[in-house]
A and B are shown apart, each in its own frame.
Chain A
Amino acid sequence: MNVVKEFWAKAGSITMPDDVTMPFWGFAPDPDGAPQLPGPTIEAKVGDDVRITLHNTLAEPVSMIFPGQDIIPDPVKDENNTLVSFTQHALPDGGTVTYSFRAVRPGTYLYESGSSPEKQVQMGLYGVLIIRPLDYYPIESTRTAYGIGTGTGYDIEKIIVAGELDSALHEKIAAGLPYDMLNFAPDYFTINGRAYPDTMNPDNSTSQPYGAAVKTESGKRVLLRLANAGFLTHSLHLSGGFFRVAAGDGTPLRTYFLDTTYEKTTITIGSGQVYDCIYTAGMPGEIYLYDRELRYTVNADRFPGGIMTRLQIVPGRP
């Protein structure tokens, strides 16, 4: 099957819960729509041929890299042999580029810009790619992250992408002013482009469309696709108990021969890393998933904020 998508790299604006707004750059799924943070989730199945065409409305080259996918990067260098993009890019002001790859391994992956990434990924040019296993079908017995027999069956799934925002840097970059990455000092911290309490709001059609709240029943399995699109490390903690780490960077920890999955209350995720974790919902009530690197649970200087979201558990049906 073919998964064919077109994205437009555009400039837009996002808002934090304390009404601070800042410019950002994001991927939009259509030419007239606003860009979103994170970019649109791409979904494919093992065996699919994925083709993404990127249209660039920004004033500098933009590209997309797909860590973990079978693509040969083919970086672009300028006449001085200096790196411009990690992969082929779309030229400014209307250029396009198409990426093709076959989805070979199930899992959760990031996609992001490979052009001046310290600037462009910070500005918001990132998103999530989900590849479903070959035997996936959205009913109970076949709804797994990595295939039947990998211990990754789930009832509901949630993408949780951590990120940071340096509002002063965003203003400078959007205005084309000089900036110094040595001064990188994020003041907002996000899940799915939103800071708490906006993380608890449902999906909507704003510039930050993806909510991060979970509502489920006791006993149900929640697949948490935890990805770190930020530059800093984040240690995500679940206040209600343990989850089982089922896969890392698209590699399932349980195979036919060996089960190397393990339980944690908190998982430390380095920049660019991804972990798929299964939480079996406990007693009815409310629990929080938040960054135990507690500096990142604030909006500017106020708690609560930042990288926090809520899981609501209702009694299971008998």
Chain B
Amino acid sequence: MRRDIRLGATDGWIRTPNSKSHYIFGFVDITGVPENLIFEYRGKAQLMAPLIDVKAGDEVYLTLTNLGNPQRPDLDDPHTVHWHGFPNQIPLYDGVPEASIAVPVFRNFTYYYKPLDPGTYKYHCHHEPVEHIQMGMTGPLIVRPADYDPALPSKKTAYGSGTGTQFNREYFVFLTEMDARAHLDIASVQEYDWSEYKPTYWLLNGRSYPDTLDDKNGGLFPQQPYPALIKANAGEKVLLRFINLGYQQHSMQLLGIPMLVVGQDAKRPLGLHGENLSYRKNAIYIAPGQTLDVIFTARQPGTYPFYNRGFHKNINAGPGPGGMITEIQVYAPGTLPPQTGPNQQ
């Protein structure tokens, strides 16, 4: 199936729970927006960038439009889209400016992908990536298996029917950090020394605790629209798609429910002859640039803390609790209606 997606690259602002605002760069979804209205989206970047949700076999035409930065009109950085992990990519569609091209301000470029391998990926800008990734130009990307059908339980899977990856609900868990000084410097036209990088905030889907517990499907956080709260009915299987696009390794611990790792870097853990190497973990350890798929079965109703075991990161530039803390809320069977999309509450 042909999919046309249009993303705008621009800047914006996000909030942390201590009532502070932070300047970001990011992407915004302008698919189908008439040409005379796309400029309304300047300054409306969101963190995480819009979810790209496609199916194996789709022909994806992704147009990137560089909308410029209203806060920093002097900053004429070009942007790109790099689909991290796309197999057998060619440089023209790989988004690395040093090896191909980038998109100047007020210009468009269409990337083409025909994904064949299901899994959890991510995309991000690759122009001056140390700056653009930290500033927020990074988003989740899901490739569904070719036989994916959310209406049929046996076909609502991460890697295809018969792969043991069926789920009832899915949530991506996007791990990043924020060094607020860098964001302040860049908003204020100052240079920032990236070897001084030292995060002061830790984010799940662009939010830090307690904003991670908000379940309004984006309402209170228009620039940080993806909830970080995980809900399920008892008996359901939940797929967690971990994505690390920060600059640190993170250890995420789920207290009270074992996690089964069924995918890593968009590949099922399989040996060369198909040996099933799925394994259980209490704490997931994930490095920048990696993805990891976990399935757990929600058994008993209750509240299960889900947090970064590197406890010094569970703060918001000050006393805890803050940072990468959220919850798995399990309800009695039948309580929650079916999920309408990834991360929807």
Contact = CB atoms under 8 A, between A and B. Distances in A.
A223 B110 CA distance: 56
Interface string A101-138: 00000000100001011110110000000000000000
Interface in A81-103: 81-83, 86-87
B153 to A, nearest CB: 26
Interface string B264-280: 00000000000111011
Interface in A248-296: 248-251, 253, 258, 260, 268, 270-274
A12 B196 CA distance: 36
B317 interface: yes
A75 to B, nearest CB: 6
A181 B320 contact: yes
Given A118-B320, A182-B317, A248-B281, A74 B312 contact: no
A73 B304 contact: yes
B325 interface: yes
Contacts, number: 113
Interface in B266-306: 275-277, 279-283, 285, 300, 302-305
Contact of B249 (A70, A184, A233, A274): A233
B57 interface: no
Given A83-B321, A184-B312, A68 B258 contact: yes
A272 B307 CA distance: 11
A299 B31 CA distance: 57
The interface residues of chain A, by DSSP majority, are classed as loop
Contact of A67 (B200, B275, B283): B283
Interface in A113-171: 114, 116-119, 121-122
Which of B209, B300, B309, B325 neighbours the largest number of chain A CB atoms within 10 Å of its CB? B309
A87 to B, nearest CB: 8
Contacts of A73: 255-256, 302-305
A71 B283 contact: no
B255 A232 contact: no
Interface string B6-31: 00000000000000000000000000
A125 B159 CA distance: 41
Contact of A272 (B253, B314, B319, B325): B253
A258 B314 CA distance: 38
B283 A86 contact: no
Which of B277, B307, B321, B325 neighbours the largest number of chain A CB atoms within 10 Å of its CB? B321
B302 A74 contact: yes
A83 B208 CA distance: 13
Contacts of B87: none
Interface string B169-200: 00000000000000000000000000000101
B204 to A, nearest CB: 14
Which of A182, A251, A271, A273 neighbours the largest number of chain B CB atoms within 10 Å of its CB? A271
B210 interface: yes
Interface string A27-70: 00000000000000000000000000000000000000101101
Nearest to B321: A83
A1 interface: no
Which of B249, B255, B315 neighbours the largest number of chain A CB atoms within 10 Å of its CB? B255
A232 B282 contact: no
A268 B249 CA distance: 11
Contacts of B283: 67, 249, 270-273
Contact of B311 (A67, A121, A248): A121
A72 interface: yes
Given A75-B305, A118-B314, 4 more contacts: A68-B258, A86-B307, A272-B282, A273-B281
8 contacts: A68-B258, A72-B300, A73-B304, A73-B305, A83-B325, A116-B321, A180-B318, A249-B280
Interface of A: 65, 67-68, 70-75, 81-83, 86-87, 109, 114, 116-119, 121-122, 180-182, 184, 231-233, 248-251, 253, 258, 260, 268, 270-274
Interface of B: 198, 200, 209-210, 249, 251, 253, 255-256, 258, 275-277, 279-283, 285, 300, 302-305, 307, 309-315, 317-321, 325, 327
